[in-house]
Structure 1
Amino acid sequence: MDSQILVALALSFVGGLSTSAGALLVILNPTPNLKMLGLLQGFAAGLMLSISFFDLAHNALNSIGFLRGNLWFFAGVLFFAFIVNFIPEPTATAEANNIQKDDDGSGKDMMKKHRRDVLFSGIITAVGISLHNFPEGMAVFLGSLKGLRVGLNLALAIALHNIPEGVAVALPVYFATQSKWKAFKLASLSGFAEPLGVVIVAYLFPSSLDPEILDGLLGSVGGVMAFLTLHEMLPLAFDYAGQKQAVKAVFFGMAFMSASLYFLEISLPKEVSL
């Protein structure tokens, strides 16, 4: 059990570092681009939807049956629908696109006027990402119990989508404060809520779970991820990049994640999974 916890912690730290990597993409870019933020949010949403439906929910349906798999999945949806009522909604900052494009002298004054709202959006996004990183940590831990292949699949998906999450936090903070350190610090802190989730869930769950309960819990995590994607990530992607471009980014993310899951499956030896 201790070795499984260590493996899950290592995989979750990869996710946390990926959030920091996303922040680096922002602070190394001298001109923050909110349209790029929208595209990355759409790409991340595609990753999340792919892992939710094509891996977690799919495995639950195959393992415990269509009815019970769906019950577990929608239990996760309802659970996060309840939790999200206590998470403040981020304010849309699409107006900042117009601020950046303003060529006359009034652009600077308008930017100062809206920086507080943009900063608030970044902080709320960081809070939301930190909260949803707890079930991601749970997913990595449960996946590691199920088998190394499942744990690696989840860790890869989470790490990939944590990169644009880091951008999502760092970009508005950097845009509002012009401080690279503040942007990097807030994004990194939101990412490292994930290994904290592993530690918490490792001591809340018994050392051995019934396989049906384990598959059901993974299906529930898929429901949580799907709800989070549709409720929080897609609206922001539409606000920043526009509906048409964001939808293209979503499907590109889904294709990318599906391909990565396939190549992981054929490359890992079968004996590493249960």
Structure 2
Amino acid sequence: MVESITAFFEGLDPLYAALVATVFTWLMTAAGASMIFLVKDMKQSVLDTMLGFTGGVMVAASFWSLLAPAIDMSKDLSVPQWVPATVGFFVGAMFLYGMDKILPHLHINFPDTEKEGVKTSWESTALLVLAITLHNIPEGLAVGIAFGAIASDVQGAELGGAIALALGIGLQNFPEGTAVAVPLRRKGLTRLKSFWWGQMSAIVEPIAGVAGAAFVLSIRSIQPYALSFAAGAMIFVVIEEVIPETQRDKYTDLAALGFIGGFIIMMILDVSLG
């Protein structure tokens, strides 16, 4: 099966490959959000474990699929090998920091009094969706940039690694979709609306994926910076959003175990495929 997936992506235009991969991650979010039709509610312990799993996948992907290849790609550049990874990582984190301060949003498990970003009269349901949308931007960028780097035959960029990244992001998007739809349902939305807005939170991933691939294809030397940028953005999301969301209740140990599980699975995917 792995061979057939690899063969499929080998024959695709890089922009189309990025689109296919990120549509897959979007559909996994939709699949997770569809769980709202099967369950009346979900225990907070399960939701916290799911969020922990999401954080573990994102941290592992940030190193194994983004930072490590970026450092590898920097061997032939005219700057010290650590510079692209350092600069890209910092700029990516600062980019998300800026968006976090500007975009109005409300984290999962947070009360309405803890809204972030510019002040707005928008309802908390819209702010919840915006929070996950903000979360999904670096994920889409990461997948798109990974596929774009392969098309340029950059040393350190491997198709297996890009596929592993897409699989890992898709895998963690399933519980993430559930973790969005359930709180929306608790706030009074119908099951259909909870599903709709849950899956729509990930529509930004194909857009960011194609944009990321197009960007790195246009400037080859920027690719290690771009991979590190995506890593910095994802790590910022994990520390500022995902982990705090798992610490609001009494299930912090379960969230930590979920994080460990997600990290291990993403590490296995990247090492075995990349």
* Structure 2 counterpart of 1:83: 99
* Structure 2 counterpart of 1:236: 245
Q: Which runs of 5+ in 1 are unaligned?
A: 96-118, 266-274
Deviation readout 1:214-273 (Å, 9 max, x if unpaired): 1110011000000001100111111245322212211121111111222223xxxxxxxx
Aligned length: 240
- Within 1, Cα distance between the matches of 2:124 and 2:45? 15
Which stretch has the larger CA shift, 156-165 or 57-66? 57-66
Map 1:174-193; keep pairs closer than 5 Å.
Answer: 174-177=185-188, 179-193=190-204
- With normalisation by structure 2, the TM-score equals 0.79
2:219 to 209, 215, 224: 209
Deviation readout 1:129-167 (Å, 9 max, x if unpaired): 223323322222211122232331221121112112211
How far does residue 13 in structure 1 lie from its aligned partner after superposition?
0.5
- Within 2, Cα distance between the matches of 1:192 and 1:140? 14
- Within 2, Cα distance between the matches of 1:190 and 1:92? 13
* Structure 2 counterpart of 1:157: 168
- Within 2, Cα distance between the matches of 1:23 and 1:42? 17
> In terms of Rg, which structure is larger?
1
Deviation readout 1:174-216 (Å, 9 max, x if unpaired): 122262101110011111221122344456x374322x41111
- Within 1, Cα distance between the matches of 2:164 and 2:41? 34
SS in structure 2 at match of 1:177: coil
How far does residue 47 in structure 1 lie from its aligned partner after superposition?
0.4
SS in structure 2 at match of 1:68: helix
Return the letter of the residue paired with 2:137.
F
SS in structure 2 at match of 1:191: coil
Are the counterparts in 2 of residues 27 and 183 from structure 1 also a CA contact under 8 Å?
A: no
SS in structure 2 at match of 1:239: coil
Are the counterparts in 2 of residues 37 and 240 from structure 1 also a CA contact under 8 Å?
A: no
1:167 to 153, 174, 178: 178
Q: Which runs of 5+ in 2 are unaligned?
A: 1-11, 75-80, 112-121, 151-158
More helix by share: 1
Deviation readout 1:81-102 (Å, 9 max, x if unpaired): 111111335256478xxxxxxx
- With normalisation by structure 1, the TM-score equals 0.79
User: Is 2:85 aligned against 1:74?
Assistant: no
Which stretch has the larger CA shift, 224-233 or 26-35? 26-35
Are the counterparts in 2 of residues 23 and 167 from structure 1 also a CA contact under 8 Å?
A: yes
